[in-house]
Structure 1
Amino acid sequence: MATTLHDSKDVLVGRAEQQMHEHFADSELTVRQKLALTCRIAFDGGHDSGLAGQISARGQEAGTYYTQRLGLGFDEITEDNLLLVDEDLTVLEGSGMPNPANRFHSWIYRAREDVNCIIHTHSLHTAALAMLEVPLIVSQMDTTPLYDDCAFLKDWPGVPVGNEEGEIISRALGDKRAILLAHHGQLVTGATIEEACTLAVLIERAARLQLLAMAAGTIQPLDPDLAREAHDWTSTDRRNKANFAYYARKSLRNHPDCLTSEVNL
């Protein structure tokens, strides 16, 4: 006999959130393992653009972060070949050099204490949308984590290897979790690696959906109240952990060399 058919939406949401908290525990993966998996997930998700793009996560010491070595593609990153660098991009652990464009990551980490992971890529559909100088439009339920949460930088500041670009991009990002960079690509942030990874997958899908919809007709807006409700419902820490675990399992089937030890996902 059903007992919940007359419960309010608030009650059902609360029950679901409690169940997610019980069933999706914190991961035992290290930061290095999560970051290496994120690189492979991004590669499989259409974010590959040769050696362009950087993925980073804060290190244990203030002013440090892990990132990939310049010269390696996202599909070649393992937990063992990541670099630990400081704000000046001096390598503290690992061998090789970081991408000089990582400089603007330092600016974002300084401006946003809530950010612990940054994913910047030139993914195909976000780059195509960026060529049109059109902001990201979120008008489909799956991509609502980005609703009113994606900034837009219309003026391309050039190759982001200088401090000027770091100032411009971090200022344009503001308090949003994502930004579309005209004539460039996309950038997402997260309080956790899982959150940033989820948003990276979603922003590329959102851009692809937008381009398809624009080619077919006029995109219709979401109801703002319902969109904000969906944004909050789909942006919880436990949901991000569940999403990441799924993406990671799929990635490990394609890239078993990513991790050096067996993990339970």
Structure 2
Amino acid sequence: MNSTLTMSKQELVSIAQRRLDKEVGTSTWSTRQKLALACRVLYDGGHDAGLAGQITCRADEPGSFYTQQLGLGFDEISSSNLIHVDQDLQVLSGKGIPNPANRFHTWVYRERPDVNCIIHTHPAHIAALSMLEVPLEISHMDTTPLYGDCAFLKTWPGVPVGNEEGEIIAGALGDKRAILLAHHGQLIAAKSIEEACVLALLIERAAKLQLLAMAAGTIQPIPPALATEAHDWISTDKRNAVTFAYYARRALRNHTDCLV
């Protein structure tokens, strides 16, 4: 007997959410391992741009975070070669030095206590879209986690190694999880490594779709209420966890050294 055929959409959504909450557990990867996995996932997802871009996450010690060594590409990051730095970018443990551009991450962390992971990259489609000085447009179901959740900074403040750029970028980001930086790249500010990684891949796909659609015609908007509903439906911790786990398994087939 098909007992769900007469249920409302909200009832079906509630059932699906309860199943997801019950069946999806937490990963056994450490914070450092997840950060290293995210680097390899991002590399495979086209976020590599030489040494441009940084990934950070809060460490247990207040006011400190893990990040990659300057000089290593995303495809070279492992759990063991991450470094632990404070808000002045002084190395607390590990070898090497951080990217000086990590300074603007510290501004975001100070302004947003809800943020535990930041990913800043210059992938090709985001970089191309940023050159047009237009905001990201969300007009496809798959990209709705960014609907109403992606800020835009139209004026390029220069290389983000000073405090001024940090203040400007953190202010433009506001309470959103993503920002498109004109003539620069993208930044994701999320509450977990899993969420940040998934959104970083998604914003690059959204930019690619936008450029393809703009080349073919005029992008048509989607209904705000339905877009908001889709944003909330997809943007959950458990969905981010299962999505990240898939990307991580795929990355581990090609990058067996990242967990060491």
For residues 221 and 256 of structure 1, the distance between their equivalents in structure 2, rounded to whole angstroms, comes to: 42
Q: Which runs of 5+ in 2 are unaligned?
A: none
SS at match of 1:133: coil
How big is each residue's C-alpha offset from its partner over 1:182-227, in whole Å with a ceiling of 9 and x where there is no partner?
0000001111111111100100000000000000000000100000
**TM-score of the superposed pair, with normalisation by structure 2:** 0.99
Match in the other structure for 1:51: 51
Q: Show the counterpart of 2:205.
A: 205
Partners of 1:62 and 1:259 lie apart in 2 by: 24
Amino acid in the other structure paired with 1:3: S
Identity rate of aligned residues, in percent? 69
Structure 1 regions of 5+ residues with no counterpart?
261-265
Q: Please name the residue that 2:66 is paired with.
A: 66
1:140-151 matches, cutoff 5 A: 140-151=140-151
Q: Encode CA deviations 1:31-64: one digit per residue, 9 max, x unaligned.
A: 1000000000000001000000000000001110
Task: Name the CA distance, whole Å, in 1 between partners of 2:146 and 2:163.
Answer: 27
Deviations 1:143-198 (A, max 9, x none): 10000000000000000000000000000000000000000000011111111111
Superposition pairs for residues 129-148 of structure 1, below 5 Å? 129-148=129-148
Q: Letter of the aligned partner of 2:75 in structure 1?
A: D
In structure 1, what is the equivalent of residue 8 of structure 2? 8
* Cα displacement (A) at 1:27: 1.4
Identify the range of structure 1 (49-58 vs 20-29) with the bigger mean alpha-carbon deviation. Answer: 20-29
What pairs with 1:19-34 in structure 2 (closer than 5 Å)? 19-34=19-34
Moved over 2 A (4+): none
SS in 2 for 1:198: helix
Specify the SS of the correspondent of 2:27: coil
2:128 alignment partner AA: A
Q: What is residue 82 of structure 1 aligned with on the other side? A: 82
CA distance in 2, matches of 1:6, 1:128: 47
Counterpart Cα distance in 1 of 2:12 and 2:200: 29
Question: Normalization by structure 1: what TM-score?
Answer: 0.97
Structure 2 CA distance for aligned equivalents of residues 27 and 192 of structure 1: 13
SS at match of 2:81: coil
1:22, distance to aligned residue in structure 2 (A): 1.3
Cα shift at 1:14: 0.3
